[in-house]
Amino acid sequence: MSAHSIAFIGTGVMGRSMAGHLLKAGHTLHVFNRTPAKAQALLEAGAHWHDTPGAAAAQADFVISIVGFPADVEATYFGAAGVLAHAQPGAVLIDMTTSSPLLAQRIATAATAKGLGSLDAPVSGGDVGAREARLVIMVGGDAAAFVRAKPLFEVMGKNIILQGGPGAGQHCKLANQISIASIMMSWCEALTYAQKAGLDPARVIESIGGGAAASWSLNNLAPRALKGDFAPGFYVKHFLKDMRLALESAGAMQLSLPGLAQAKKLYDEVERRGWADSGTQVLLRLYAEQA
């Protein structure tokens, strides 16, 4: 794989590991993050700091972003000091934030008008998947841009599929989050029931974690939660954002999703209790307190 100059915008829990893999693969990395301290390890490893997203983009043939919320994506791409105003001609813009499908389509339209490639490529796999370079990457956008970007995706992930045109990656990620929303409730309810019945929840996982009830969340997040480890692999505040986006998108399609709606109510209560900066597995704490 030939080396590229890559702008990487957003070096939080996920982005820091993803950018690190690209740096180790021999690419030149230009980084921006709103909190400079979160990019320090990358800078010490050889990445170059820039004061704005646009300044980083001006140095790169690929621009990758993974930020918090759609408003952050909007500012990153459409702001005066943003990517679209400063990207090199012919560059490929890749937003890996879980964001709005409509916003992904807007970015694609603006990018095309400027002679730029554009992909929406949200990911699944959490902090562990990012660290171990085995993320699921769901991509929307132009097929030619996807072919150009795929070698970079392969540095960060294992399951990489072009789902369709602009916005298709975001729709696929929202489908992923819709499924996870009910899965989170399912194992919390199962383990709360088991504990109330006098069982050891950890031993229950040993029994049910390999059969039809198994899920990644049951086998990875539930053990953390049982130990009182609520550190974020994926923040509650970001999961709530994803559920809002999914409900908005479903509403626009006149689609009722009662499981998603119930999960959103529960996580609203989690947020109300001040746990929005915890990992999503903190939902078990809510069930335990209500029990």
Q: Where are the domains of the chain?
A: 5-165, 171-290
pLDDT tens digits for 110-151?
999 999 999 999 999 888 899 999 999 999 999 999 999 999
Q: Per-residue b/e over 191-205, b at no fewer than 16 CB within 10 Å?
A: bbebbeeeeebeebb
> How large is the greatest C-alpha to C-alpha distance in the chain, in angstroms?
64
Which residues, in sequence order, are bridge partners of residue 57? none
Q: Which amino acid is at 48?
A: H
Interstrand relation of 123-124 and 135-141 (parallel, antiparallel or unpaired): antiparallel
Query: Residue 31, Cβ neighbours under 10 Å: how many?
Result: 24
68-106 confidence digits (pLDDT tens): 899 999 999 999 999 999 999 999 999 999 999 999 999
Please state which of the four CATH numbers 3.40.47.10, 2.40.50.100, 3.40.50.720, 1.10.3720.10 is assigned to the domain occupying 5-165.
3.40.50.720
Please indicate, yes or no, whether the overall pTM of this predicted structure exceeds 0.85: yes
Fold of 171-290: N-(1-d-carboxylethyl)-l-norvaline Dehydrogenase; domain 2 (1.10.1040)
Residues with catalytic roles: 173
Residue range 142-193, pLDDT digits in tens: 999 999 999 999 999 999 999 999 999 999 999 999 999 999 999 999 999 9
For 24-65, the pLDDT digits (tens) are: 999 999 999 999 999 999 999 999 999 999 999 999 999 999
Domains 5-165 and 171-290 share a fold: no
Whole-angstrom CA distances from 162 to 22, 92, 96, 105, 171 are: 20, 15, 13, 15, 12
DSSP strand pairing (92-95 vs 157-164): unpaired
Shortest CA distance to 151 belongs to which of 88, 75, 94? 94
| CB contact set of 26 (below 8 Å; sequence gap of 6+) | 3
Candidates 86, 89, 154, 91; CA nearest to 121 is 154
